[in-house]
């Protein structure tokens, strides 16, 4: 499994999730620097040479949806996403670690309901 690609899926889920009936406006993960239909060469340059990553939602952003939800949950998943986005693939967590951390977070936040 490609850990970097999985982290983009997680990013997409947290950026497109409807929370308390509110969803953020859609935005492409690399839309500000790559446009709507970038070439493979352009994406390779943006991701590998420039080391650009999509913007993560954070408690410092002016994000009303985030304020309605658990800031801690986003912080925990942002930590995981950042690790998966390491430039050197061998520095990224493997799938077992990702699954264990995800299961830990599920247990942690399902008990807070």
- 89 band by pLDDT with thresholds 50, 70 and 90: very high
**1-111 belongs to which CATH class?**
mainly alpha
pLDDT tens digit string along 32-80?
889 889 999 999 999 999 999 998 876 555 556 555 456 778 888 899 9
DSSP state letter for 47: I
Question: What are 27's two structure tokens?
Answer: 């935005």
22 strand-pairing partners: 19
Query: How far is it, in rounded angstroms, from Cα 47 to Cα 111?
Result: 37
Q: What are phi and psi of 22, to 5 degrees?
A: -120, 135
- 86 band by pLDDT with thresholds 50, 70 and 90: very high
Query: How far is it, in rounded angstroms, from Cα 62 to Cα 55?
Result: 13
């Amino acid at each position: 499994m490609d850990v970097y690609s999985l982290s983009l899926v997680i990013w997409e889920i947290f950026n497109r999730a409807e929370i308390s009936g509110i969803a953020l406006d859609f935005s492409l993960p690399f839309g500000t620097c790559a446009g709507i239909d970038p070439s493979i060469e352009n994406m390779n340059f943006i991701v590998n040479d420039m080391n650009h990553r999509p913007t993560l939602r954070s408690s410092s952003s002016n994000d009303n949806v985030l304020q309605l939800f658990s800031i801690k949950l986003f912080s925990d998943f942002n930590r995981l996403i950042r690790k998966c986005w390491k430039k050197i693939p061998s520095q990224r967590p493997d799938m077992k670690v990702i699954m264990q951390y995800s299961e830990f977070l599920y247990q942690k936040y399902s008990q807070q309901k």
